[in-house]
Structure 1
Amino acid sequence: MSDNVAGGDEIRVSVDDRGVARIEIHRPHRMNALDGAASRVIIGALEEWSARDDIRVVVIDGAGGSFSTGADVIDIAATAGENTGGGLDPTQARGVISGGSDLARAVRGVAVPVVAVVDGPAVGIGASLAFAADLVYATERSYFLLAFINIGLMPDGGASMSVAAAVGRARANAMALLGEKLPATEAFDAGLITKIVADREALDATVDATVAKLVATSASALRLTKKALDAHTMGDFDAALDRELEGQTALLQSAEFQAAMAAFAGAKP
Structure 2
Amino acid sequence: MVSQESASIGGLRVDLDDRGVGWLEIDRPDRMNALDNATSAALTETLHRWSTDDRVRVVVISGRGGAFSAGADVLDILESSSQSSGGFEADHARGVIATGSAMAQAVRAVRVPVIAAVDGAAAGIGASLALAADLVYATSRSYFLLAFINIGLMPDGGASMLVSASIGRARANALALLGEKLRADEAYAAGLVTGIAADRSELDRTVDAAVTKLIRSSTRALRLTKAALDAETMAGFDAAIERELDGQTELLQTSDFQAAIAAFAGPKSQG
TM-score tier by shorter-chain length is over 0.9
Q: Where does residue 230 of structure 1 map in the other structure? A: 230
Q: Provide the C-alpha distance between the structure 2 equivalents of 1:9 and 1:129, rounded to a whole number of angstroms.
A: 17
Aligned residue number for residue 30 of structure 1: 31
SS of the aligned residue for 2:106 comes to helix
Distance in 2 (CA, whole Å) between partners of 1:9 and 1:80 is: 20
Deviations 1:141-170 (A, max 9, x none): 000000100000000000000000000000
Is contact 2:9-2:39 (8 Å) kept? no
- What secondary structure, in the 3-state scheme, does the structure 2 residue paired with 1:65 have? coil
**Alignment pair present for 1:76 and 2:73:** no
The one-letter amino acid of 1:126's match is: G
Code of the aligned partner of 1:8 = I
**Could you tell me which amino acid in structure 2 is paired with residue 14 of structure 1?**
D
CA distance in 2 between partners of 1:146 and 1:27 (Å): 20
**Correspondence for 2:45:** 44
Q: What do the CA deviations read for 1:72-120 (whole angstroms, capped 9, x no partner)?
A: 0000011112345x32121210111000110010000000000000000
C-alpha separation in 2, matches of 1:200 and 1:15 = 21
**Alignment check: 8 A CA contact 2:10 2:38 kept:** no
1:51-200 aligned within 5 A: 51-84=52-85, 86-200=86-200
Identity %: 63
Q: Let me know the Cα RMSD of the aligned residues.
A: 1.2
Deviations 1:102-139 (A, max 9, x none): 00100000000000000000000000000000000000
Q: Note the residue ranges of structure 1 that are not aligned, 5 or more in a row.
A: none
Amino acid paired to 1:253 = Q
Give the Cα separation in 1 of the matches to 2:13 and 2:187.
Answer: 27
Normalised to the residue count of structure 1, the TM-score between the two structures is 0.97
Consecutive unaligned residues in structure 2, runs of 5 or more: none
- Contact 2:9/2:42 (8 A) holds in 1: no
TM-score normalised by length of structure 2: 0.96
Q: What aligned pairs does 1:228-267 form with structure 2 within 5 A after superposition?
A: 228-265=228-265, 267=266
3-state SS of the aligned residue for 1:208?
Answer: helix
Aligned length: 267
Greater relative contact order structure (CA < 8 Å, 6+ sep)? 2
Secondary structure of the residue aligned to 1:24 is: strand
> How many Å separate the matches in 2 of 1:41 and 1:6?
11
Distance 2:76 2:20 in 1: 34
1:68 CA drift (Å): 0.2
